[in-house]
Structure 1
Amino acid sequence: MSSMNNTNGKRILVSGAGIGGLCAAWWLSRSGYAVTIVEQAATLRDEGYMLSISGAGRRVIEEMGLLPDLRQAALPVDRNLYLDARGRTIMQLNHGKLLTQLDHQVVLRGDLADILHQSLNDAVNLQPGTRISSLQQDAHGVDVQFNHGNTQRFDYVIGADGFRSATRRLAFGPDTDFCQHMGMQAAAYWINGGTALEEDMVAIAEPRRMSMYYQLGSKGVTALHIWKSNLDAAPAQHTRRDYLLSEFAGSHPRVIDSITKLSASSSVYMDALMQVHIPDWSRGRVVLLGDAAHCLTLANGQGASMALAGAYCLAQELAADSSPAALLRYQQRMRPGIAALQLRGRKAARLYLPDSVWSFRLRNWIMSAMPKSMLLNYFIKSAQEELHMTDHIQLQQASRRAA
């Protein structure tokens, strides 16, 4: 893809080379901004968890001309099997039919990040192993000091560095002011060895906890555990195996075996599930994007799609008007849909992991007794309602799209 010449001379710093940050850099560079991305990790993160792109997020990818790449990276997650801790079948569902009707694309987060990264033009300066140490802003720009000691001035700073955003802490305040704990934790990791599943996804559901295993084609099998917990911070990496064994004691043998086989060198993603609620997504010339502004949590879904949509809206507004008023218009376009999704997520969280054995068994009985066609229609209707919540986001076609 060809890029536009830098016509406005303005400089933007993006903190975080995740989905939202890379997408924002793509659009801003094509609007004439000189874009620098800093990422504290030495390389782009390649965690093995999956995400779903649909609705507004899919439209952004299509507008970027990257839909063929997304489809090529898509993973087959068609047939789902739900078991209880004793291995008894709760439900079987052809999830592929649901995805086809809703035009969802399921991909690894790392694969989507790589697609976005490879599509960036030479106008984007990506600096891994770099993070912001301090911010000082005035009416005309932001002076940024980096961990390496040098200081640079930018017209705007975009914090796209996740729900535990360091940029947000520097410019807005501590995490405790904005993060709302959902009462759950999650862990994800790759399973070593030649493990194969009987279906594309196998879930083992129990009161207060759930384990999900995904067969990701030739890439292997990844595990995702979610359980009730009010712990704010994850334990140290070298203790996570034992911590998971404690949290899932007495679970299905498959669960115990997958955790037990984790080695000391295994990388285990683990964190609390939290929503981010912040009155204003910008302060002066610092603006938040994606999870840093409005984390939805994986129990809600739509996080990656909303990061893509937000990046697109923010870049459109800054292309139309490079004054700070553009930041407010970006928030006004995104806020109603985000608020609706967050409310839906809080309600869903109360049903996601039933607390009592009685409520768990009642849910399982309903799911197993309901005709498959009715169950599938229920999930399709639920997903459609979720997508409709973001219909207000006006993703106007870019007036100057890269060829």
Structure 2
Amino acid sequence: MQVSIETTSGLERRLTVGVPAARVDSEVDERLKKAVKNVRMPGFRPGKVPMKVMRQRYGEGVRQEVLGEVMSQSFQEAVIQEQLRPAGQPSIEPKSLEAGKDLEYIATFEVFPDVEVFEMKDFDVEKPVAVVTEEDIDNIIEVFRKQQGAWQSVERAAIEGDKVNLDYAGTKDGEAFEGGSAEGSDLELGSGRMIPGFEDGIVGMSAGDEKVLELTFPEDYHSEDLQGASVEFKVKVNTIEEMVPAAMDEELFSKYGVEEGGEEQFRKEVGENMARELKNAVEGKVKQQVMDAVIAAHQSVEIPKALIAQEVEALRNQMFQQFGGAAGQDLDLKSLLPDDMFTENAEKRVKLGLVLSELINQFELKADPEKVRSTIEEMASTYQEPEEVINWYYSNQEQLASVESKVLEDQVVEKLLEGAKITEKECSYQDAIAPAAQEA
């Protein structure tokens, strides 16, 4: 087999591969000989069709099948011979496929970059420091009580937190606009579902009251026709309901998995779950800062376009599923969720993956079995049958590999933090668990 290679640009390589005709021809002959045993053809006894006839009837089809397989096999042999690491599938351009002549084709593909890892020292990391207080537990329990509570009609003016049933009609310059009117619409005051000023304007109204709200749409509103527009909403309140939280009783406790121990055990388990959430949130924020520092220190790393395309597709599918999409739906996802929505994030994730892989090699890290076990046990502790969950992870290689990958990332973070400047910042539980974007 003859192989020549050239660098076309950056990470792209062009491989010209020549395969002796004998390799293709012998494989074609071998398959025809095997096939003749099962071929039934008029005028010939079973298994006695002459090879000449077999070649005439089936030779071209078998040859095309063999050519595809030989190109795939020889490509793998060529990249091993040339010590290349392809990133993604190659584009194959046949040059010579003629029977009796050597097979020749050109494979164009990208390779993984040689990642140069830079020393990372004295980069800044801010670590949130918080504790779960009794007040925090009270607040979360109140959320649980409202989740399990019921709406009850009231005869008073509306306040924030109430649910009101409304009729409203919006006009712009005296004309109704699309989506600006509704009858019998429920709205929870304080939910932020409506444009600024709408919900505030309902506060203080009673059932049967009518009012005209003079409002302005935000400049970044999704409908261009309404961006920054001055409008009027004629509003009528039909009914007002307040939330009556569920009682602190055994029924409530059981809905959150506490069957024994009453309120004391309920508060204890809520507090433990909050502490676990706090720990994960703090670790996540610290880890994100380390990852951001890694990307900032390795801006010059080249990224294969093929890997970016794969990551864009993965992010697109992930978003589609998060919003309720199901596999197999006949939708043009690229039009619905175009590439540019994900490209920047995909580039960061691919670059981070390449650098982390090199760091793992340099640090000679392997997933610590004890940390893998403790990670799985922590995840399993939130289920009613933890042992079943643990056994499921250890019997599922794909899921186990996912946990091992996370543990390896955490071990890289631990190594990098040894050279970081860590500043502790005291904050509340709510601030500590709030997403970084929300804080900003």
Question: Which has the larger Rg?
Answer: 2
Give TM class, smaller chain.
under 0.3
TM-score (norm 1): 0.21
Q: Which has the higher strand share?
A: 1
Q: Which has the higher helix share?
A: 2
The answer to which structure, 1 or 2, has the higher relative contact order (CA under 8 A, 6+ apart) is 1
TM-score (norm 2): 0.19
